A and B are shown apart, each in its own frame.
Chain A
Amino acid sequence: MQADLDRALAAVNRVIVDKSEVVELAFSALLAGGHLLIEDLPGVGKTTLAQALSLILGGSWQRVQFTNDMLPADILGVSVFRRDDEQFEFRPGPVFANVVLADEINRATPRTQSALLEAMAEGQVTVDGQTHRLPQPFFVIATQNPLDMAGTYPLPDSQLDRFLLRTAIGYPAPAEERRLLIEPDRRQLLTELNAELDGARVMELIQRAASLHVAEPVIDYIQALIQATRAHAGLRAGLSPRAALALIRTARANALVRGQTFCLPENVKLIFPALAGHRLQPLPESGLSSTDVVEEIIDVTPVP
């Protein structure tokens, strides 16, 4: 089981060059049962990462390119009336897949966005009074362009909370980028990927992650970090207990991804920026970004 996970990780890292940390976060979000938001410029490999993940997981995958004229039904699916047997038939939308890549989610209107986000939160879709369960595992990788770009609707705060982690990808290092240029096309590499995991094994890994040991000092550390966000003068509000629960869950998943049998403060430290960054709003007068605040908190909080 652990070997499968290691192989899956290695395979994805072969495709996505020099971004092992992002890959690790993606796997952590997956095994914590959450969803990932990637915020970056077009062309840094978001889609490739999503495709690689879905191939590795061996399940179905769908890609939804969000546009500003998109409607909720375009994502969730529609009921159509069939003349033959005079019945409504549900045609599932692209959200019915194990891995969904929601590209440029902030190009859609808030109404459409919330349709997806509610599906993510509930794990089910309700159309015309009928409830349809989404497949398990269900993992959404959404991408978002930086907010200052034209023609975007920023995700509202309450919806951002639906994403377990938010991360950026960034440019590769020059040497790695050179490899990217020399090596065959990524798309070709993707076709070489094998499904190292399947739905059942992912569910088992999720359960295993949830029961991983977290020692008292690590819990102390998590509490200290959460408390620091609440005491910070430059923030509008601190992290909620739900965020604290998400932190410990994701730290466990990260420990599993790294092949540990217990949780270390390192796992918490790695997860915390991705988990807290999009949940915290700095006061405008502080002049700080949420990333600055998170880094500052990590720098001053002692590790027990």
Chain B
Amino acid sequence: MKQLPPFSAVAWTIAAFVISALPHLAAMPPWLAAGILGACAWRLAAARYRWGPPPRLLRIVLTGVALVFVLVAFGGLWGRRTATVLLCVMLGAKMMEMFAVRDLRLVASVSFFLIATQFLFSERLIYLVYLVSGSLVATIALTRIQTVHGGQWTARGGSELPAIRQAAVLLMLAAPVALTLFVLFPRLAQPLWGLPDQVMDGRTGLSEDMSPGSISNLFLDDSPAFRVEFDGPPPPPGERYWRGPVLWNFDGTTWTRPFFGDAPSRQFVAEGPRSLSYQVQLEPHERRWLFVLDYPVRGPDQALITVDHQMLNRHPVTTLTRYDVVSNPDFTDMPELSSGAQAVALRLPEDRNPRTRALAQELRERHPDDRALINAVLGWFREEAFYYTLSAAPLGRHGADEFLFDLRSGYCEYYASAFAILMRAAGIPTRIVTGYQGGFWQAASEYLLVRQSDAHAWTEVWLEGDGWTRVDPTAAVSPARIEQGSRSVIDGPRHLFDLNWVENLRNQYDRIQHLWNRWVLGFDHDRQRSFLRGLGLPDLTTDRIALLMLLVLGLVMAPLSYALLRQPRGRAASEVERAWQLMLRRLKRRGLTRQASETPLEFARRVRNARPQEGERIVELALMYCRIHYGEVQDDARPFIEQARAFRPARA
């Protein structure tokens, strides 16, 4: 019967797995997490009471059931979350057959990987603690497993301290290497995963102004515009209006930003009960807008909130940019409209769209109240044969006239533009807002993916008492446009550490957090270059940086390697021993067993007498082995190791 691994090695390995799986366990359905923890508990009890592995059939069935559970829980939705949960579940199933050195080592090693996967979901500071403690425990486990010698578990009982100390020393020895890799590993301008086609390469994002077709051009572009993680449940799809350029000026064809577009807001937006806090990871779009939900309370330090509640970055966004925003949807924008703003919001080219203007006059006479008028127009859109389509014909000089009375089909900018013209002609101050609407809720990974194809245009009208009020004519024509991509929202905290006390802790360590963000998360391509410049190095190309990294790594590892190499031929000798034992095992399978009291040469000569055809070869190998094993001058062991491994005794 094979010897069972000692309790200590099993316990440490399970601890390593559980710690590294903690955030993943919290993110999966509780009954699935309970199953995994149950498997761990069973394995621990098995180690304590010296039970063997369960029957093979049972293991297969349980693993299959666990797989089905994962499929059911995630509905076949394949994402980062599903993949990591699957990994956790498989490791949980591995508990049932974790009875050999190999299996223990596998679980402990994969624990490191499991820790790394958590950084696909969050890079917050708290996970540094998780990273360090998880790595330490996994290293202790590996150290404990390593006390196995020659296939036999050595009876090393007693204190756990030596293993803990050894693991800590190992991690500390690895720290300079990790630091070197972190600082000098060539940073790409963009992260490698998840975000292909980082450069704009000829594509255009949302443009600064709007003319018919400028937004529908983006419809086929499925590349991500930005991703959003909410500190809480995401808003319903109907409220996901991501505000971009606000357009006031209309020249008859194109809507543009006004001269005061960059002026900072003088209105204070307070947080309200429905305030939303969220982080946006914005893909580079080479313009300054940081897309936000209505109405931004505060954004990142370097950002400016304009008078019409756009958020502008100081510089064009050319790298993946993260920013935190708090928005309050209940804010009343400009309860009083200045006469200057009103004039801009009502201006229309005189010589355009006569039919639309006539319709506006007619409506105005019928509906003296602004709200009633708006509802009438929206109702008209809804009831008449207006279509929401991409293949809209180009519009001529009287674009709104053509659209409203002849074509009656188009994309959102057609509706927004025609609606705005109609409103202004009716004397209601109106402006156009462009940006993105909706987004795809990645339920498995809990973030909102907004694509370029989600680009949208809507209008805001100024109403007495309500200020600027969003009116989306597209919603009247095609409610599905607004609702599309919506998914059911997962309730509850996002992950295990989404707790109050952690939040407090996070505030307390805000300074560290700041450094972490600045030097770890934010240590990107540019910062690496400026860091190297700070060291007095000239601008280096990526391959030069890679060379520098190898050089520094060599310097860092030289003392370590020297210390390790100075240790007497421990590894080489054991490799020789293994090769020799392998050769003996192969001979044994042919019925040639070396007696314990036989010297290698005695055995080889006996074999030579029994099987002259290959005996010479065996004597030769035995001589090589003796020279290494008993000799003084250490010959190069390589030839022996290779030849002994390659040796295959013929069948008798």
Find chain B residues with CB under 8 A from A263 CB: 630
Q: List 14 A-B contacts (CB under 8 A).
A: A213-B632, A215-B629, A215-B630, A217-B629, A218-B630, A261-B631, A262-B630, A264-B601, A264-B630, A266-B601, A300-B597, A301-B597, A302-B596, A303-B598
Determine if B599 is an interface residue (Cβ-Cβ < 8 Å).
Answer: yes
Which residue, B597, B602, B631, B632, has most C-beta atoms of chain A within 10 A?
B597
Nearest-Cβ distance from residue A40 to partner chain B, whole angstroms: 27
Assembly CA distance A262 to B634 (angstroms): 12
Write the residues of chain B forming the contact surface with A, with a CB cutoff of 8 angstroms.
596-602, 626, 629-632
Nearest-Cβ distance from residue B145 to partner chain A, whole angstroms: 26
Which residues of A from 225 to 276 have beta carbons under 8 Å from B? 261-266, 269
Given A300-B597, A303-B596, A303-B599, A265:B630 Cβ within 8 A? yes
Determine if A299 is an interface residue (Cβ-Cβ < 8 Å).
Answer: yes
Determine if A298 is an interface residue (Cβ-Cβ < 8 Å).
Answer: yes
| B599 in contact with A215 (CB, 8 Å) | no
Closest to B627 in A: A262
Find chain B residues with CB under 8 A from A218 CB: 630
B597 partner, pick from A213, A264, A299, beta carbons under 8 A = A299
| B597 in contact with A266 (CB, 8 Å) | no
Assembly CA distance A303 to B598 (angstroms): 6
Nearest-Cβ distance from residue A266 to partner chain B, whole angstroms: 5
Nearest-Cβ distance from residue B620 to partner chain A, whole angstroms: 16
Find chain B residues with CB under 8 A from A262 CB: 630-632
6 closest pairs, A vs B, by CB? A213-B632, A302-B596, A265-B599, A215-B630, A303-B599, A262-B631
| B631 in contact with A217 (CB, 8 Å) | no
**Range class of the A interface residue count:** 10 to 19
| B598 in contact with A264 (CB, 8 Å) | no
Assembly CA distance A217 to B599 (angstroms): 11
Write the residues of chain A forming the contact surface with B, with a CB cutoff of 8 angstroms.
213, 215, 217-218, 261-266, 269, 298-303
Assembly CA distance A300 to B598 (angstroms): 10
Nearest-Cβ distance from residue B418 to partner chain A, whole angstroms: 94
Nearest-Cβ distance from residue B519 to partner chain A, whole angstroms: 51
Assembly CA distance A302 to B626 (angstroms): 16
| A298 in contact with B629 (CB, 8 Å) | no
Closest to B630 in A: A215
Which residue, B596, B599, B632, has most C-beta atoms of chain A within 10 A?
B599
Find chain A residues with CB under 8 A from B599 CB: 264-266, 269, 303
Assembly CA distance A262 to B631 (angstroms): 6
Which residue, A218, A261, A265, A302, has most C-beta atoms of chain B within 10 A?
A265
Assembly CA distance A199 to B163 (angstroms): 59
Other A-B contacts than A215-B632, A300-B596, 13 sampled, CB-CB below 8 A, are A213-B632, A215-B629, A215-B631, A217-B630, A218-B630, A261-B631, A262-B630, A262-B632, A263-B630, A265-B630, A300-B597, A302-B596, A303-B600
Nearest-Cβ distance from residue A96 to partner chain B, whole angstroms: 39
Nearest-Cβ distance from residue B304 to partner chain A, whole angstroms: 76
B631 partner, pick from A213, A265, A266, beta carbons under 8 A = A213
| A298 in contact with B597 (CB, 8 Å) | yes
Find chain A residues with CB under 8 A from B598 CB: 303
Nearest-Cβ distance from residue B594 to partner chain A, whole angstroms: 9
Closest to B632 in A: A213
Assembly CA distance A300 to B600 (angstroms): 16
Find chain A residues with CB under 8 A from B626 CB: 264
Assembly CA distance A136 to B598 (angstroms): 38
Which residue, B601, B629, B630, has most C-beta atoms of chain A within 10 A?
B630
| B602 in contact with A266 (CB, 8 Å) | yes
Closest to B603 in A: A303
Assembly CA distance A262 to B623 (angstroms): 12
Which residue, A218, A263, A264, A302, has most C-beta atoms of chain B within 10 A?
A264
Nearest-Cβ distance from residue B235 to partner chain A, whole angstroms: 74
Closest to B599 in A: A265
Assembly CA distance A215 to B596 (angstroms): 19
Find chain A residues with CB under 8 A from B597 CB: 298-303
Find chain B residues with CB under 8 A from A217 CB: 629-630
Assembly CA distance A218 to B597 (angstroms): 13
Closest to A212 in B: B632
Assembly CA distance A299 to B630 (angstroms): 21
Nearest-Cβ distance from residue A298 to partner chain B, whole angstroms: 6
Nearest-Cβ distance from residue A221 to partner chain B, whole angstroms: 9
Nearest-Cβ distance from residue A137 to partner chain B, whole angstroms: 26
Find chain A residues with CB under 8 A from B602 CB: 266
Assembly CA distance A269 to B600 (angstroms): 12
Find chain A residues with CB under 8 A from B631 CB: 213, 215, 261-262
Find chain B residues with CB under 8 A from A298 CB: 597
Find chain A residues with CB under 8 A from B600 CB: 303
Nearest-Cβ distance from residue A78 to partner chain B, whole angstroms: 50
Closest to A304 in B: B629
Assembly CA distance A303 to B595 (angstroms): 9
Assembly CA distance A268 to B137 (angstroms): 48
Nearest-Cβ distance from residue A223 to partner chain B, whole angstroms: 15
Assembly CA distance A300 to B253 (angstroms): 104
Closest to B598 in A: A303
Assembly CA distance A213 to B598 (angstroms): 21
Closest to A268 in B: B599
Find chain B residues with CB under 8 A from A265 CB: 599, 630
Find chain B residues with CB under 8 A from A300 CB: 596-597
Closest to B628 in A: A215
Nearest-Cβ distance from residue A218 to partner chain B, whole angstroms: 6
Assembly CA distance A261 to B626 (angstroms): 12
Closest to A297 in B: B597
